[in-house]
Amino acid sequence: MAYQQISRASNVSGNRASPTLSTVDPGTITSDPPTSSSANRRTRKRKATANTWVHVREPKGSEPVRSARKNEKIYYCKHCEDPTYFTTVSTTFRYRLLNTHGIELEAQEHPLKKQRKSLIKDAFAKAGEIDAVRHLSHGSIQKLVSNSFCVHKDILRKKLQSSPSKIHLSADVWSAPNHKAFLGTCVKFVDPDSKETLQALLALSELPGLDGPGSHGRAEQWKLLHHVLEDYNIWHNIGFYTGDNHGSNDKLCRLLSQHLKGKGINWDAKKQRIRCHGHVINLIVQAFLFVDSREAVKAVLEQIEGDDEAAFGTDFMEGFEAQRALG
């Protein structure tokens, strides 16, 4: 089937020969006309710029129009006659024009490439000059991090103090394998500007080691929580407190209630204390698995309660003894 090729080339005089930089395997080139499916694929390809086509000539004689491998357009350089230079890549063709013939073309840049360059440029602009930071010492970096933390902490403090809703606290103790214990204090509140519900970590304070006296006790936890609430100055707006079933949390809430009462703030340690449901389920499962053995129950209670003598352990053991007596 014959088809007509529309020529986009213009006449340029003064052709001169030059050696070729690349060639295409003749076995992969055919002059057969493309099928309808290949014609559809051509319509989706990005068109070459007019500047590129000025230096392209039409195929001569039996020279193929497209490559058989990918059905790509073949660019024949009109400045190269003996030997002939051709390629299927427009970028390679422009490189040939620049390096062999000294002709520089301005190709239209792809929008994605423009966007990528813009993002990289903005990133470097925000990062600042490398000369200003590459000679910083360890102490200088530590100071910069500390200053940044103070700035963001002050922003959070202002948001908490102006929150239109109550501020709800949650705290838990995390123990590391190296016998370091930390009390994490989190908060949930409504942002005064966006009116969205937000959450944040107020503090990750270090407790005495696991082997220390009263490391998980109410006194140590209250000391750290008191410091956090005093630092953020949010006594007047405390809502609910969420913690696990450890007995020290009950006593911690009572200490919080007494302290707020001294400030003229009514805070009910029972009604405004929320127990962690995951910890409740954990207690139930452990009691169910080990209830057949008194020694096992004691081991579970020791693991749950630790060194703190909570009322939960006493009540549970009394109920266990009553059930054992009934058989």
Q: What are the CA-CA distances from residue 309 to residues 212, 218, 248 (Å)?
A: 16, 11, 8
125: pLDDT confidence band, cut at 50, 70 and 90? confident
Q: Tokens 């005093």 label which residue?
A: 230
Query: 165-275, what's its fold?
Result: Nucleotidyltransferase; domain 5 (3.30.420)
Phi (first) and psi of residue 131, to 5 degrees = -65, -25
Predicted model pTM: 0.48
Highest mean pLDDT among 20-34, 209-223, 267-281, 311-325: 267-281
Tell how strand 181-190 and strand 167-175 pair up.
antiparallel
Residue 210, pLDDT above cutoff 70:
no
pLDDT at 280: 76
The token duo for 312 is 């939960």
The pLDDT tens digits for 128-172 are: 666 666 667 788 888 889 999 999 999 999 999 999 999 999 998
The average confidence (pLDDT) of the chain is 75
Question: Which range among 130-139, 172-181, 230-239, 317-326 shows the weakest confidence by mean pLDDT?
Answer: 317-326
Highest mean pLDDT among 8-12, 52-56, 117-121, 152-156: 152-156
pLDDT at 13: 40
Q: pLDDT: is 87 or 245 the higher one? A: 87
The pLDDT tens digits for 95-113 are: 888 888 888 776 667 788 8
How is 132-171 classified by DSSP, letter by letter? GTTT--HHHHHHHHHHHHHHHHHHHHHHHHT-SS-EEEEE
Calpha distance 95→102 (Å, rounded): 10
pLDDT at 4: 38
| Mean pLDDT value of segment 181-188 | 92
Q: Where in the chain is the domain with CATH 3.30.420?
A: 165-275
CB 287 within 8 A of CB 297: yes
Residue 82, pLDDT above cutoff 50:
yes
The pLDDT tens digits for 18-57 are: 444 444 444 444 444 444 444 444 444 444 455 777 788 8
- 156 Cα distance to chain centroid: 21
